[in-house]
């Protein structure tokens, strides 16, 4: 069978790795980057077609994929005279792989439907190294017929591909997942800093905690930096964590409730970001708490 043509917008670390994987699988791609041309140039060198606007991406593609940092970024590429919606072919499927606000996703879904296409949210789990090998976790939601149409492509990108129900459910689950993970990571980071203040050894604290039901992968990621000095076991920047937990809090507000548990993690992550540590990894929040408590 003929493979669908794919348009890809947002070739950062994750998007670039996903494009490389799609090219490995023989898909024809039109691509649109942003500021950093590293992955864009690599894709073009392998045969991808660079275009000048999101509208041109859509006009050339059966499936349009976006992998961008914020809902604002997604909306700016979707709307306007040069946006995806303006160039959409009838029956095209648009997939947002970013971590976006569910309310924004549902609004864009209605706009895409009015233009004759279908919008799916499909946030990602795992890392760019997993993307390179087609081993992502993909949390897709939206129209089931559209999901069935693109499932084969998603399975070329992901080891675990979920269909999670109505449009916005993937982004909702991803935000809950990231809220929980970042709250645990910050709690572990503070625990190591408090060990310093209280005069106990970080490694001994970890050994005791890890021997019981508190043990988790997230604990190990933070221990990777807090004890072993390697920040990259959890390759997720503080600024991105702050964004995601902020989106979770906004999602709660939109639902008419006030999140209690997210506020401490959001406060710490936001302060770390705003004091020049946004590009550091989440496990380095150990230093944020250690410095804060030692001054």
For residues 269 and 197, the answer to whether their CB atoms sit within 8 Å is no
Query: d(Cα 115, Cα 111) in Å, to the nearest integer?
Result: 6
Specify the 3-state DSSP secondary structure of 259: coil
Do residues 27 and 21 lie in contact, with contact meaning Cβ atoms separated by under 8 Å?
no
250 is catalytic: no
Instruction: Sort strands 118-121 and 158-163 into parallel, antiparallel or unpaired.
Output: unpaired
| Class of residue 172 by CB neighbours under 10 A (exposed 0-12, middle 13-18, buried 19+) | buried
What is the C-alpha to C-alpha distance for residues 31 and 220, in angstroms, rounded to an integer? 37
Evaluated on CA atoms 153, 25, 99, 115, the torsion sign reads: negative
Query: Is 64 in a helix, a strand, or coil?
Result: strand
What single-letter DSSP state applies at residue 84? Answer: H
The active-site residue, picked from 55, 174, 239, 243, is 174
Q: Is 141 helix (H, G, I), strand (E, B) or coil?
A: strand
Catalytic positions? 174
């Amino acid at each position: 069978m003929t493979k669908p043509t794919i348009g890809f917008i947002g070739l950062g670390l994750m998007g670039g790795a996903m494009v490389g994987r799609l090219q490995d699988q023989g898909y024809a791609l039109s691509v649109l980057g942003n500021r950093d041309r590293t992955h864009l140039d690599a894709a073009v060198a392998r045969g991808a077609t660079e275009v000048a606007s999101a509208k041109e991406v859509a006009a050339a593609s059966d499936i349009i994929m976006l992998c961008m940092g914020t809902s604002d970024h997604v909306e700016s590429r979707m709307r306007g005279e040069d946006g995806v919606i303006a160039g959409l072919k009838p029956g095209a499927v648009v997939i947002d792989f970013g971590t976006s606000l569910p309310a924004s996703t549902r609004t864009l879904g209605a706009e895409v439907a009015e233009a004759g296409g279908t919008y799916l949210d499909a946030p990602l789990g795992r890392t760019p190294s997993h993307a390179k090998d087609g081993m992502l976790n993909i949390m897709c939601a939206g129209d089931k017929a559209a999901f069935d149409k693109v499932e084969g492509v998603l399975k070329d990108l992901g080891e675990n591909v979920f269909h999670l129900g109505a449009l916005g459910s993937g982004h909702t689950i991803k935000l809950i997942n990231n809220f929980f993970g970042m709250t645990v990571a910050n709690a572990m980071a503070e625990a190591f800093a408090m060990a310093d203040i209280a005069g106990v050894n970080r490694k001994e604290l970890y050994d005791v905690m890890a021997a019981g039901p508190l043990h988790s992968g997230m604990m190990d990621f933070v221990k990777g930096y807090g004890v072993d000095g390697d920040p990259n076991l959890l390759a997720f920047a503080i600024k991105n964590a702050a964004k995601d937990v902020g989106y979770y809090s906004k999602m709660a507000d939109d639902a008419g409730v006030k999140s209690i548990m997210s506020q401490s993690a959001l406060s710490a992550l936001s302060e770390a970001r705003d004091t020049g540590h946004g590009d550091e990894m989440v496990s380095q929040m150990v230093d944020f708490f250690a410095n804060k408590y030692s001054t």
